Amino acid sequence: MMSNTIINAVNILFNLLEYAIFIDVILSWFLRGRTNAFVDILHIFTEPFMAPARRLQEKLFPSMMLDFSPIIAYFVLVILRVVVISIVGMIF
């Protein structure tokens, strides 16, 4: 019973992070070069996933005009979700 509650909370957390990345992408199309408080708060949550993805993209595909870092970050979140839920399932 308790493990289901924790797993649900973990799923909600990862869903929120995925939505935050999606919102960050959408806002980057409209607010390019502009900042406001909402975007700054959003970046606090998304940058830990997006910055390493950008560095990886730059190493694999230097000078690419399209930014695939949100897709890379999303896949990292999917993998992390599976790992965290597996660990929580073993502990509880």
What is the model's pLDDT at position 1? 67
**Confidence band for 64, pLDDT divided at 50, 70 and 90:** confident
- Token reading at 35: 């900042």
20/48 Cα distance (integer angstroms): 12
How many domains is the chain built from? 1
Residue 92: pLDDT over 80: no
pLDDT in tens, 4-58: 899 999 999 999 999 999 999 999 888 777 778 888 999 999 999 999 999 999 9
**Confidence band for 63, pLDDT divided at 50, 70 and 90:** confident
Q: What is the span of the domain harbouring residue 58?
A: 2-91
3/55 Cα distance (integer angstroms): 36
Given a contact cutoff of 8 angstroms between Cβ atoms, the answer to whether 18 and 88 are in contact is no
Residue 78: pLDDT over 90: yes
75/72 Cα distance (integer angstroms): 5
